[in-house]
């Protein structure tokens, strides 16, 4: 039980066995999504409900662990990591089928790619939070493509601009909140990269990378979508 639940289990090594397992799981799920796209399109509500149930299970597992193991420590337990926000947006979409939220979930979810490429403070696959990590980040990355296949969602330029504005609000919020509760939201306390960089330069770098990454993601999507299918 301690290996599944204890806070004191060691984090995974970057580019180690568990890191590879996480990448393989993501690849397998992405392959399933592509190969079964016509079945998903035909039975979209069935798959939507399955993904919703898995997402809700992940949320219950995550916050149960934070409550029972950490006593719901505010520095870690609040839903203010950007991938957790993406999950909540995804759950809202899965319940309501409101495609407006998928734009933001799509762009915010780009940070989940970084978590797979360079995991920071991630538990092994056999740990409750390791299991939560793989469920959360896999759904976060693949849900926009599920929405694309099943519900004809398309990223829009308006959605890009809206999400950049929302990211600015989010970043300022966690930047102010973190020192108040000794928090690590958006990994501003335990940086995965550029740990010796000054706060001011790091903030400029975060916004430069975010704007470039969001814009590149929109451009790639825009390039591969026929003009008649583009979002407004």
What confidence score (pLDDT) does residue 195 get? 80
CB-neighbour burial class of residue 42 (10 A; exposed 0-12, middle 13-18, buried 19+): exposed
Residue 93: alpha-carbon gap to chain centroid:
14
CA distance 40 to 54: 16
What confidence score (pLDDT) does residue 227 get? 45
Q: Which of 29, 38, 142, 33 is closest to 94 using CA atoms?
A: 142
What confidence score (pLDDT) does residue 117 get? 87
CA distance 227 to 222: 8
- Rounded (to 5) percent helix, strand, coil in the chain: 75, 0, 25
Tokens matching residue 107: 């762009």
Residue 198: alpha-carbon gap to chain centroid:
26
* Mean pLDDT for the stretch of residues 179-183: 94
**pLDDT band, residue 230 (cuts 50/70/90):** very low
Burial 73-110 (b: 16+ CB within 10 A, else e): eeebbbebbbbbbbbebbbebbeeeebebbbbbbbbbb
What confidence score (pLDDT) does residue 229 get? 45
**pLDDT band, residue 156 (cuts 50/70/90):** confident
- Under a CB-based contact definition with an 8 Å cutoff, are residues 88 and 79 in contact? yes
**pLDDT band, residue 2 (cuts 50/70/90):** confident
Res. 196: pLDDT tops 60: yes
Average pLDDT over the chain, rounded to an integer: 91
pLDDT tens track for 83-102: 999 999 999 999 999 988 99
CA distance 149 to 143: 10
What confidence score (pLDDT) does residue 231 get? 42
pLDDT tens track for 35-74: 999 999 999 999 999 999 999 999 999 999 999 999 999 9
Q: At what angle do helices 110-117 and 17-35 cross, to 10 degrees?
A: 140
Residue 102 has phi, psi (to 5 degrees) of: -70, -30
């Amino acid at each position: 039980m301690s290996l599944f639940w204890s806070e004191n289990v060691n984090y995974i090594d970057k580019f180690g066995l568990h890191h590879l397992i996480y990448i393989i799981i993501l690849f397998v799920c992405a392959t399933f999504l592509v190969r079964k796209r016509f079945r998903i399109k035909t039975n979209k509500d069935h798959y939507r409900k399955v993904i919703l149930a898995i997402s809700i299970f992940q949320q219950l597992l995550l916050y149960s662990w934070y409550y029972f193991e950490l006593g719901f420590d505010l520095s870690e337990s609040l839903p203010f990591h950007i991938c957790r926000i993406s999950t909540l947006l995804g759950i809202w979409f899965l319940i309501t089928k409101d495609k407006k939220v998928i734009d933001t979930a799509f762009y915010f979810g780009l940070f989940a790619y970084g978590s797979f490429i360079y995991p920071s403070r991630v538990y092994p696959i056999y740990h409750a939070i390791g299991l939560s990590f793989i469920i959360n980040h896999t759904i976060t990355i693949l849900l926009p493509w599920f929405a694309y296949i099943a519900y004809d969602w398309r990223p829009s330029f308006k959605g890009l601009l809206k999400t950049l504005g929302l990211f600015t609000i989010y970043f300022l919020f966690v930047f102010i909140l973190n020192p108040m509760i000794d928090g690590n939201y958006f990994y501003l306390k335990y940086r995965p990269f550029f740990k010796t960089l000054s706060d001011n330069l790091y903030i400029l770098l975060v916004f430069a990378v975010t704007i470039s990454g969001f814009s590149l993601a929109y451009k790639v999507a825009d390039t591969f979508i026929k003009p008649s299918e583009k979002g407004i």
